[in-house]
Amino acid sequence: MGVSGEPTAGLVPAVPVPARTDPDPATSGGACRFGDGLAIGPDLEGAAEVALAQALAPLAGAAPDLLCLFVAAGVPARSGLVEAAARQVMTASGARMTIGATAAGVCGDGRAVDRGQAVAVWAATLPDARLRPFRPDGLLPAPDGDERAAVLLVDPHTFPLAGFLPRTGALPVVGGLASARGGPGSNRLFLDGEVHAHGAVGLLVGGDVAVGTAVSQGCRPTGPPMTVTRAERNVLYELAGAPALVRLAEVVSAHPLARRRATARGLQLGVVVDEYVDEYPRDGFLVRGILDADEATGALVVGGVVEVGRTVRFQLRDAGTAVEDLALLLNPGTESRGALLFSCAERRALLGSPDRDVRAARDRLGGAAVAGLVVAGGIGPIGGRNHMHGHCAAVLTFG
């Protein structure tokens, strides 16, 4: 059974990219190793076998402590093919812990696939890490004291993420909404050797392991910061004492005439997350979309509640800014050798190429093993609180 644009027979590993150098145990804190693999083909079990072999190769024969599995099925999950491929990987890898999900697209080994059938696998030896799986039932598990971050993968049709995230506290949570094509019942979630058709799966990461987070919202500020002077929930009536639509028009008119139409299409609203700083950093805004405008009242409808008195600034989103933003937020000085990437479907459409995020992350981190999936909405921290995002790339790095 072939898919347009994909091979109909055999397995195609990822396009070759410059080889990585494995971390030197003498300088990287011991036997931490990372690998990633990607294989394409209509035989999901065969693709899983190839991707797993690629991911395990840099581990020098050691069984992984953590294995992440991402499947772009191209077929209904209820057919059983996805579950068979997932169980094969989880059994054959010998991993201490496995987490993963189905998606519309996956990435690994320096390449991304957003059409057809493919499997991406990411593997790591983390001998001093504590890995604790969980199935959330409304709250994160009670902390044990040294948790550094959590991975969370969600079926958007069966899990109330909007009510869950505000209860996660200050612990960084990175992940996204599973995005298998086909609507309700199409997603599968993988955790600790089991396959689930609903809810969410998570993993707490603690112990002696360095982790970092980055959430690229793909925007840069434009126009001045302004105070919200009149608003009702997600409807902005006035900014800095003038109708919100007038303020938006002022920002657009400050751009060159030839760019004004594109500017108007790309404008978003950034809400300052810390009102007590003198200068707002690039990631100091929680970006929300502008959903509608009312010329009669001058109001703007945005994708989130904005309170009177908050400082906001318009943001401009475009492809070049999105790639630059991700590179600036990832810190190559942390010696990160592995990373998980959760890239929103809308962002992939904006970038025009499925490979740009995974290549940008891998290059910025000096050839780190990077794998992940296309999500229907990203999860990541901004300003010390966890949020759901559109058009984002959320990254969890391991050092």
Same domain, 150 and 234: no
Most confident of the following: 7-16, 190-199, 276-285: 190-199
- Percent of the chain past pLDDT 90, that is, above it, reads 67
Kindly state whether residues 231 and 204 are assigned to the same domain: no
Q: What letter represents residue 66's amino acid?
A: L
Round to whole Å and give the CA distance between 323 and 252.
23
Where does the pLDDT of residue 335 fall: very low under 50, low under 70, confident under 90, or very high at 90 and above?
A: confident
Instruction: Give a yes or no: residue 330 inside a domain.
Output: no
Each residue of 131-150: pLDDT tens digit?
Answer: 999 999 878 888 787 899 99
- pLDDT at residue 22 greater than cutoff 60: no
User: What's the pTM?
Assistant: 0.88
Alpha-carbon dihedral of residues 104, 107, 113, 114, nearest 10 degrees? 30
pLDDT over 60 at 16, yes or no: no
* pLDDT at residue 75, as a whole number: 63
Same domain (yes/no): 101, 159: yes
| Residue 390 sits in the same domain as residue 361 | yes
Work out the average pLDDT over 350-379: 92
327 occurs within a structural domain: no
> Any idea which of 96-105, 229-238, 312-321 has the lowest mean pLDDT?
312-321
- Answer yes or no: do 234 and 136 share one domain: no
**pLDDT reading at 269 higher than 70:** yes
The whole-number average pLDDT for the span 345-374 is 91
Closest among 216, 270, 272, 217 to 396, alpha carbons compared: 216
Measured in degrees and rounded to the nearest 5, phi and psi for residue 145 equal: 115, -30
- Do residues 150 and 101 both lie within one domain? yes
Q: Are strands 106-108 and 267-272 parallel, antiparallel or unpaired?
A: unpaired
Domain count of the chain? Answer: 2
**Structural domain for 303, as ranges:** 219-318
As a whole number of angstroms, the distance between CA 260 and CA 46 comes to: 50
- My answer on whether 205 and 226 are in the same domain is no
380 occurs within a structural domain? yes
* 4 is a domain residue: no
Q: Quick check: is 314 in a domain?
A: yes
Residue 6: which pLDDT band, with cuts at 50, 70 and 90?
Answer: very low
* Over residues 234-263, mean pLDDT: 94
Judge whether 113 lies within some domain: yes
